[in-house]
Amino acid sequence: MRRHRTNPDEVFQEMLQAARELLAVRTPLDAELMVSDMIGAWWGKRVKGGDVEQVLGEGLVDYAAKAGTPASLTLLICLAYLGTARQGAKAEGAALAMMEGGVARPGWADRVGAVKPTGCYVSRDAYGDQDTVICTFAYRWGEATADRPQDRHALVLVVDHNMNGMARDAWVSSHVEKLLDQARTEAEADPMLLFEEIEPQQARALLESAMKATIGAQELDGRERGTSQRAAKRARPSNTVPKTPPPVSDSYSAYHAFARSRLKALPPGRKRPAPLHIEAPYSRERRAMLAAEFLSSDAAEHLSDPSAASRCADHIIDYGCEQDFNRPMRVSPVKCETFLLDWLPRKVMLSRAEQEAMPHVLSAWVRFAAGRTGLPERGLRATQDAVWEATAKFPEAYRDPTSFGLDLPLLERLLPDGDLSALARRVFAFPFLQGMHGDIDLDKLDPADQADRRTLLRFDHVGDIDEEHLAWHEEIATRLWDGDPPQLWEAAQRLLDLGHDRHDVLHVLIEIAERIGGDPEELAAALDDIADIPDEI
């Protein structure tokens, strides 16, 4: 996410000028789409002084209310439906006050948001990579014509399950029947596609899940753009910088408010169903049984190192459960490539034997899973081809952690959980883990153990140190070890990149943590705002 530095009043004035065009539109649908596009300009961005929806969204409501013009009233009417709950309540109150004061409104104003669902559909590929959700609506009243039967329209969201189920794109079409006929025709002609009608409750659950994941992806994208490459360079050679999530499309930003508003028209049901792509969680026992079934199957009979194959199978199953909505049996070209070339190099510490075995185990897993799930032969071949193409790149993508200059026993102390992405921040938190200090052997101290942490941090300081101050160093070191909150390590990297000394950086982090206290949201926000070390620190 990019920081938004424009003066809010300038933004509000520009939007109010653009709102004059609302007076010329003929339908509530046109007005809703225009306002959704307007407020999409700030969606997902960062502003100083608070949440963007509060600073800009609620600020725009206040600005429009003060203007008191027909254009500002029209904007408020749309914001009452398209805005967040707080924006909607404020906009509705301001609009009612203006109407009571005699400000004119367009004839379609009463129909804004007054829609009912007329059908929900999903088009999905056989791999399970992507769902295209189509929800159709019509306005509840208004004169219907042959060209515009109650302004019927379709909201289309593309949900990418290889990107945590986020909504990658969105658009609105008024050509509903043409859109549905095209989706049916494509599914009939291609065995790798499925098109079906779903219940409105299922559509709502799927869209809510996707829109929530998209907000999370925006926040992660904003953090990782500035920090993941720095972290990677500290922990590994530059040619293995992990991929960052792609930005959300401008189209989705423009339609986000409209999509959020249409969710209100979809019934949640008494017991809200889980989204279609999310399966029941796998217990540890169930994962172990699945791994045993795989290893005893014909697909795995050629694997020469049973021990390494077993550990590789565990990683494949864990990835499917934890990163793919409890679907370890789902295989696709994109999923396999992402697992092999992106997730493993960032997240998992593999032994040499596991590094050699992994591509072969993954290929065997594809055959095993495809047989269980009924993936068409065409899909199996394409997935196997993708695995072997990725295999040639795997040795370069996955660099043995011992090649970073750290020996295996030290790596095992720093990464008892095997989380390779934690290496850089843990090395920063505990730089002294080897050698003798007096009669104490640092190689025998465990940085994962609370008692040993205090001893290790004491050796990180010259001379006597106040116990309270040492306790704060331990607090920061523990948070860095756990990655909680992620903004802590991100802030440290920004300061290190400016050339500041490690201890000065730690003292800034301590000062902020001590000042903020236990509120996690305030702590994350304060860390996000760090751009440099103040002179007084």
DSSP string, 374-434: T--HHHHHHHHHHHHHHHHHHHHHS--GGGGT--HHHHHHH-TT-BGGGHHHHHHH----S
CA distances from 530 to 281, 296, 480, 502, 512 (A): 39, 54, 17, 15, 10
More confident residue, 269 or 253: 253
Q: What is the value of pTM for the model shown?
A: 0.82
Rounded to whole angstroms, how far apart are CA atoms 341 and 356?
A: 14
| Helical packing angle, 520-528 and 502-516, nearest 10° | 140
**Token output for 336:** 């396999």
pLDDT of res. 473 = 93
DSSP SS3 for 175 = coil
Query: In sequence order, what DSSP letters do the residues of 427-460 get, joined into one string?
Result: HHH----SSEETTEEGGG--TTSHHHHHHHHHTT
Q: Collapsing DSSP states into helix, strand and coil, what is residue 162?
A: helix
Query: Among the residues of 122-175, which ranges form H helices?
Result: none
- Domain-by-domain residue ranges, the chain? 8-101, 115-233+247-265, 284-399, 417-529
In 155-199, which residue ranges form alpha helices assigned H by DSSP?
Answer: 176-189
Cβ contacts of residue 181 below 8 Å, gap of 6+? none
Confidence band, pLDDT 50/70/90 cuts, at residue 243 = very low
> What pLDDT score does 290 carry?
98
For 281, what's the count of Cα atoms within 13 Å in the CB-facing half-sphere? 3
User: Is the separation of the CB atoms in 220 and 1 below 8 Å?
Assistant: no
Binning pLDDT at 50, 70 and 90, where does residue 354 land?
Answer: very high
Amino acid type, 76: L
Rounded to whole angstroms, how far apart are CA atoms 479 and 500? 20
- 274: pLDDT strictly greater than 90: no
Q: Is the peptide bond before 485 cis (omega within 30 degrees of 0)?
A: yes
Quick one: pLDDT band at residue 6, thresholds 50, 70, 90? Answer: low
- Within 10 angstroms of residue 231's Cβ, the number of other Cβ atoms is 23
pLDDT digit string (tens) for 18-57?
Answer: 999 999 999 999 999 999 999 998 887 877 767 888 888 9
Q: Phi, psi at residue 132, to the nearest 5°?
A: -105, 110
CB 440 within 8 A of CB 455: yes
- Looking up tokens 């009417």 gives 77
Per the structure block, which two tokens stand in for 200?
A: 């409105």
Total number of residues shown for the chain: 537
E strands along 161-254, which residues? 166-173, 193-197
Question: Using one digit for the tens of pLDDT, what is the confidence trace for 316-325?
Answer: 999 999 999 9
User: How confident is residue 8, by pLDDT bands cut at 50, 70 and 90?
Assistant: confident
Q: What angle do CA 359, 363, 365 make, to 5 degrees?
A: 115
Backbone angles phi, psi at 531, to 5 degrees: -115, -25
User: What is the spatial distance between Cα 180 and Cα 118, in angstroms, rounded to a whole number?
Assistant: 13
Going from the C-alpha of 208 to that of each of 57, 170, 202, 214, the distances in angstroms are 21, 14, 10, 10
Q: What is residue 350's three-state secondary structure?
A: coil
Handedness of CA 418, 421, 427, 428 (dihedral sign): negative
Give strand pairing partners of 441.
436
Smallest CA-to-CA distance from 390 within 350, 351, 421, 363 is with 363
